[in-house]
Amino acid sequence: MKFAYVCVLFILIVVENGSKAYPLDEESATAPEDYMDYVELDPMDNVAELQKTSTGRTWLGLATTLIEKPAHHAFVFHFPMATQEQLELSGLIKSVHQRLRDSAKQQDPETVWKEHVRDEGLLKSYAEAMHKLATCYWDRTMEVSCKRSNSRIEWVVASCRCYFHGATPLLYLFREKDDKVMQAIDAGYRYEHRPYTIDRIKLLDVGSCYDPFASFPDFDVTAIDIAPAGSSVWHCDFLEAEVNKTLSIPSISEQHHSIEAFPGDHYDAIVFSLLLEYLPSSEQRLRCCRKAYDLLKPEGILLIITPDSRHQGANAKLMKNWRYTLGLMGFSRIKIEKLEHVTCMVFRKCIFPTVGKRWCDIHREAYMEPVLNIPQDFNETKLEEKDDSAMDVPRTDEDDGEIRQAFAGLPFLES
């Protein structure tokens, strides 16, 4: 077999003001001393861990593993340079999340969260850091690298439009699918559907920060956050907000620019973008999803974006357990997509909760339970306990397996 990429193996590290090529040979597959200055870091991952273990070891591992192939190949890896400011901002975000989780293991998670919400100084710093990361680094990186398809904002907008306003809206396709499930459960099932007609998509953006969806005219956005970074974002602790089915619009306090209660069965779409990881316990994440279910119209959708810098499939079991857990609530997962650094999912609020629960009955596996855990829940190492020795940890067989899987999808061309 011949490959389109034939040459000595090298890594081309592209930076904002130029590029450098570093040859790697079989004798000494080592990176240059300034390698870590050019590593692209996911702002939502542990910076220290990425620098010292995950990113550095993985990319070096990819290089040295590929040397073992029958022929040498040339690969180009793009590592936009992370500035010192970006590292500091992402470090702040991650450290807040980590400390919340650590504290929740020692104390009541509800007490921990309420104390956090009262810390106005920390919330202000967090909001400013998240706003700057999103607008100055994440979005800018997508534009510079021509990777708009990897933008979480663009993904949400496209998913909503396709579901509600496509040439053949996906809403109706999944409605037919649900009908078939119900007919399989009950041969006598009959249901007269009403047209789902909307002009603008009524969207609730939970943990919005700076209201990024406000610029899309076909969306009617309610943006909320515990620490708003913009004047169009309402102050609201979603965990504490009430659901009142007698309301027709959210109950607001003009004095505090806050929302105190939401109408039930009101929204077409609800977005949890990088939200669930902020909450320190599984039970709090579950409460958020249950509340989203109550606020959505039947057939409305919940869009969840969660940090995930690992290769596609690495967290498959965890994501399948999320599907199981939300299925028990009456959601049906209709889409899952791995973008760069995040996994994105769309859950549909079934007209009949039986549809979601039936999937759970059929597909349940021994490891599944009704919880919403994130990978960081299983990492008990505190930030302050990490040391420089992590860089020297050798690769394991499991690491090598993940490395090979990560490169399984590269566009090698046969000739």
CA distance linking residue 147 with residue 22, whole number of Å: 25
Q: Determine if residue 188 is labeled as part of a ligand binding site.
A: no
Full residue range of the structural domain in which residue 320 is found: 151-377
CA distance linking residue 116 with residue 96, whole number of Å: 9
Residue 320 maps to a domain: yes
Write out the two tokens for 23.
Answer: 């040859």
Residue 160 maps to a domain: yes
CA distance linking residue 300 with residue 76, whole number of Å: 42
pLDDT for the residue 259: 97
CA distance linking residue 340 with residue 337, whole number of Å: 10
CA distance linking residue 279 with residue 282, whole number of Å: 8
Residue 127 maps to a domain: no
pLDDT for the residue 139: 58
pLDDT for the residue 99: 94
Residue 164 maps to a domain: yes
pLDDT for the residue 140: 53
Cα torsion 345, 224, 165, 337 to 10°: value is -20
Q: Determine if residue 225 is labeled as part of a ligand binding site.
A: yes
Residue 217 maps to a domain: yes
How many other CB atoms are found less than 10 A from the CB of residue 291? 19
* Cβ contacts of 165 within 8 Å, gap of 6 or more: 201, 218
Residue 120 maps to a domain: no
Residue 308 maps to a domain: yes
**Locus of tokens 């650094």:** 341
Give tens-digit pLDDT for 73-103. 444 444 455 678 888 898 999 999 999 999 9
Give tens-digit pLDDT for 298-327. 999 999 999 887 777 788 999 999 999 999
Query: What total of structural domains would you count in the chain?
Result: 1
CA distance linking residue 316 with residue 322, whole number of Å: 10
pLDDT for the residue 149: 57
Q: How far apart are the first and last CA of the chain?
A: 7
The structure's pTM equals 0.74
Write out the two tokens for 100.
Answer: 């919340």
Q: Which residues, in sequence order, are bridge partners of residue 21?
A: 12
Q: Which amino acid is at 32?
A: P
Q: Which residues, in sequence order, are bridge partners of residue 338?
A: 343
CA distance linking residue 391 with residue 265, whole number of Å: 51
* Cβ contacts of 372 within 8 Å, gap of 6 or more: 276, 282, 285, 286, 289, 322, 325
DSSP code string of 263-287: -SS-EEEEEEES-GGGSSSHHHHHH
Residue 143 maps to a domain: no
For 11, counting Cβ atoms within 10 Å of its Cβ (0-12 exposed, 13-18 middle, 19+ buried), the class is buried
How many other CB atoms are found less than 10 A from the CB of residue 150? 16
Q: Which residues of 308-334 are buried (b: 16+ CB within 10 A; e: fewer)?
A: bbbbbebbeebbbbbbbbbbbbbbbbb
- Extract the residue ranges of the chain whose pLDDT is less than 50: 1-79, 141-147, 381-395, 399, 402-403, 405-415
CA distance linking residue 375 with residue 45, whole number of Å: 11
CA distance linking residue 11 with residue 64, whole number of Å: 11
Question: What CATH number corresponds to the domain at position 331?
Answer: 3.40.50.150
pLDDT for the residue 2: 39
* Residue in 286, 330, 284, 241 with CA at minimum distance from that of residue 100: 284
pLDDT for the residue 340: 81
